[in-house]
Homo-oligomer: A and B are copies of this chain.
Amino acid sequence: MTATATPPDSTDSPRRGRPGYDRETLIRVCVEVFNVHGYDATSMGMLAKHLGISKSAIYHHVDSKEAILDHAVTDALDALEACLDGVAGNGADAGAQVEEGIRGTLSVLVEKQPEVTLLLRLRGNSAVELAAVERRRELTRRLGDLLEAAQATGAVRTDVTSHNLARLALGMINSIVDWYRPGRGVPGEQGAGKMIDAVTGVVLGGLRG
Residues of chain A touching chain B, judged by Cβ–Cβ distance below 8 Å, are 36-38, 40-41, 121, 123, 125, 157, 159-160, 164-165, 167-176, 178-179, 198-199, 201-209
Contacts and interface: CB of A to CB of B under 8 A. Distances in A.
A66 to B, nearest CB: 13
B207 A202 contact: yes
A104 to B, nearest CB: 18
Contacts of A123: 36-38, 41
A198 B160 CA distance: 6
Contacts of A37: 123, 125
Contacts of A174: 171, 175
A121 B175 CA distance: 13
Contacts of A167: 175, 178-179
Specify the main secondary structure of chain A where it touches its partner. Answer: helix
Contacts of A209: 201-202, 205
A168 to B, nearest CB: 5
Contact of A206 (B125, B159, B164, B202): B202
A126 B164 CA distance: 35
Candidate in A159, A171, A179, A205 with the most chain B CB atoms within 10 angstroms: A171
Contacts of A201: 157, 159-160, 209
A204 B157 CA distance: 13
Contacts of A198: 159-160, 164
A168 B160 contact: no
A121 B164 CA distance: 21
A202 B170 contact: no
Contact of A38 (B38, B179, B206, B207): B38
Contacts of A41: 40, 123, 125
